[in-house]
Structure 1
Amino acid sequence: MRDSGQVGAIEWAIAGRPMPGQDVSGDQYVVVDAGDSALLAVIDGLGHGPVAAEAAFEAIKVLNANGGEPLDALMYLCHQSLAETRGVAMTLARFSLDDGELTWLGVGNVLGAVLRNAPVGSTSLAVALVGAGIVGHQLPPTMHIRGVTMHPGDVLLLGTDGLRPHFIEDPPLAQEVPSLADDILIRCRKETDDALVLAARYRGLAR
């Protein structure tokens, strides 16, 4: 599974695959052009196979239909809609297309980081703070939306736990985002779960 595109100043790409032996993946993604912002999400349906995919696709429907809503409201809407499913882990990120501000919110184990290309390797600017829980079954008592200011060239990575967590450690940021996502999937995927990574680069505002 591969896809890529651009929303305003954001170039994005995903690479993913189901667990070996499965035909469908419970690891999915959403990219929504919400006018003055772009909503990006990576969703990990609990487990794998059709029941995990069912939960993930229910979350996708909610996010696509409500992409302009605040992140905490989106999390609650998904939580309500997924009550009859296995549930998901999910991290949401919103880019302001006016000023490059990124806000994000996560529940479960979808890992996220913002990275900056450096003369030698890469520098981690921020790591997503995710709350313990399962969207659809138990949300954290409080959910904290955090923010970080993106600079031209900075990259957001979001990945499911089908990737080894070191995928955010010194990835080859000089590559275009489709190649970056492919590289991470190939190097860091596990053989025991679905896997998906989303990479998004902020290109900066046109002058």
Structure 2
Amino acid sequence: MPSPRYADRPAPQPPERGTVDALISQTRRLRGGVDAVRQDAVLDDGDPQTRWQRALCELAMHQLDDLDDHLGQLREGLPTQRVPAEPLTEAHQSHQGRPAVGDPGEQQRGSLLSRVGSADWNLLTDDVTWSPELYQIFGRDPKSPAPTLDELPALIVPEDQPLLTTMVTDCLVDGRPIDGEFQVVRPDGTVRTVHMMGEPVLDADGATASMWAVLRDVSELRRSQLAVREKGESLQHQRHIAQTEHRIAVELQEAVLPPWRGSLRFPHGGPQALDLAAHYLPSSSSALIGGDWYDAMELPDGESLLSVGDLTGHGVTATSGMAMLLGALRGMAVAGARPGPLLGWLNQLLDASVQPALGSAVCCRYNPEDHTLTWAQAGHPAPLLFRGGTGRALTPPDGVLLGATSGASYGQAVEQLHPGDLLLLHTDGLVPRRAGDSPASRLLALAPRFTEARSAQDCLRTVVEAFDEAEREDDACVLIARIGS
């Protein structure tokens, strides 16, 4: 049964790869230019204005690196969308990749390249200078005194305080530059992620006279990176699950169905007067393994069982349900059940199943002694009979879908077959639903070609050639039986 999947408008398309590649190239060229300016600033490191220029270049390079990362993620097809602010939880307590929390209104107004503030701590006079942007980053009143280096750790989350202390100590004692991130706790209890860069300023004697720093609020950037990483991990996990389920469904289908290619062979050679061939045609999306089946087997009384059917759904659930129905059908047929009562019992089985589903089926018993076909159907396309260069659908007896109602009864019909007749059973996913014609009408149009065929396998090849290129929304099965003398 075709899956009810329709689209009333095209799905959103990702940006063209060439456009993103061009943006990445421009970003990297711009970073090279900023790096050249930074290198020039290093030549005159003693000038405060030059140091400030170099610090701004460092910040610009960090921002361009972040932009390059995001463009790379966009090129790979992962969304880099803003994630709403939420409270800090124990699940996000690691230093790297931890989301920062801030005022929701500020989050919406901000951007990935966040505002930057600056600070200067004079060790000789104990004067501290903060820029207005830095007060806003820390959520402090601009009229309040700027924190000293000793007071600064109190504004940081406890787990990051040792990191900040180490960076400041290394800067003041060993003259090392500061470059690191930490979490800031604002007075309202929200948390922001801040990237800090700084250097010591030495006096004429080489002693540390002051320390300056520039600080950048990277909260939204880190939150976005975390969202991208988690989304990527989720997609990878979902792909793994889908691939595993697809593999199990395929293996189960291959284990239950007879061979997909070549003439079907009965265990003991089967009736010589019945030439059989069958084929499974997958949907246009190979990921959709459905519950279609075909089957042919020799019965103890010398008759032959022919059946095709379709269980709704896709994946492991559909193939396992199909295996259950097919196993029950074979068992009851071997026990001597006739097609009508057999479908009634299959209906009870499906109705009582833990996982409700609907199914359709055709069940036939062929008697090679008198060439009679006794058959029943459950909401399924009728078999097609080809004779003398023409074809027709057999008149179906009463029968509703399996699992549609409790206690349903199924009628039987008997058809007299002749040597040379061709019987074709199929499921209804052969052609797309939007194509406007039925599988039966297209199959009946193949009657002249069937007349020229020398075997059931030749007829099957004709069907596959006619339908294998169709953009099917569902999988399908075809079973062909040619009546011999």
**TM-score bin (small chain):** 0.7 to 0.9
Q: Specify every segment of 5 or more residues in structure 1 that has no aligned partner in the other structure, as ranges.
A: none
Query: Matches of 1:200 and 1:111 in 2, distance apart?
Result: 14
Contact (CA 8 Å) 2:340, 2:375: kept in 1 or not?
no
Deviation (angstroms), 1:130: 5.5
Contact (CA 8 Å) 2:278, 2:478: kept in 1 or not?
yes
> Partner residue of 1:202?
483
SS in 1 for 2:290: coil
Deviation (angstroms), 1:155: 0.8
User: Under a length normalisation based on structure 2, what TM-score does the superposition of the two structures give?
Assistant: 0.38
Structure 2 residue corresponding to 1:48, chosen from 306, 311, 314: 314
Paired residue type of 2:422: V
Q: Which has the higher strand share?
A: 1
Q: Given the alignment of the two structures, is residue 165 of structure 1 paired with residue 432 of structure 2, yes or no?
A: no
> Partner residue of 1:18?
282
> Partner residue of 2:346?
78
Paired residue type of 2:295: V
Report the CA distance shift for 1:96/1:139 in structure 2 as closer, same or farther (over 3 A). farther
Query: Matches of 1:98 and 1:139 in 2, distance apart?
Result: 36
Deviation (angstroms), 1:55: 2.4
Query: Matches of 1:91 and 1:70 in 2, distance apart?
Result: 12
Query: Matches of 1:140 and 1:127 in 2, distance apart?
Result: 25
Query: Matches of 1:141 and 1:65 in 2, distance apart?
Result: 20
Paired residue type of 1:13: A
Contact (CA 8 Å) 2:399, 2:410: kept in 1 or not?
no
> Partner residue of 2:419?
152
Paired residue type of 2:374: T
Contact (CA 8 Å) 1:161, 1:195: kept in 2 or not?
yes
Contact (CA 8 Å) 1:39, 1:95: kept in 2 or not?
yes
Structure with greater Cα Rg = 2
Query: Matches of 1:132 and 1:18 in 2, distance apart?
Result: 27
Q: Which has the higher contact order (CA 8 A, sep 6+)?
A: 1
CA offsets per residue over residues 143-175 of structure 1, 9 Å max, x none?
Answer: 321111111110111111112232431322232
Query: Matches of 2:342 and 2:363 in 1, distance apart?
Result: 9
Report the CA distance shift for 1:141/1:77 in structure 2 as closer, same or farther (over 3 A). closer
> Partner residue of 2:95?
none
Contact (CA 8 Å) 1:58, 1:81: kept in 2 or not?
no
SS in 2 for 1:137: coil
Contact (CA 8 Å) 1:87, 1:137: kept in 2 or not?
yes
Query: Matches of 1:13 and 1:181 in 2, distance apart?
Result: 7
| Matched-pair identity in % | 25
Q: Moved runs in structure 1, 4+ residues, more than 3 A? A: 139-142
SS in 2 for 1:124: strand
The two structures, once aligned, show a CA RMSD in angstroms of 2.3
Superposition pairs for residues 31-180 of structure 1, below 5 Å?
31-34=296-299, 35-67=301-333, 68-83=336-351, 84=353, 85=355, 86-116=357-387, 118=388, 122-124=389-391, 126-129=393-396, 131=398, 133-138=400-405, 142-163=409-430, 164-171=439-446, 172-173=449-450, 174-175=452-453, 176-180=455-459
Paired residue type of 1:149: Q
Aligned length: 200
Report the CA distance shift for 1:53/1:186 in structure 2 as closer, same or farther (over 3 A). farther
SS in 1 for 2:276: strand
Contact (CA 8 Å) 2:290, 2:312: kept in 1 or not?
no
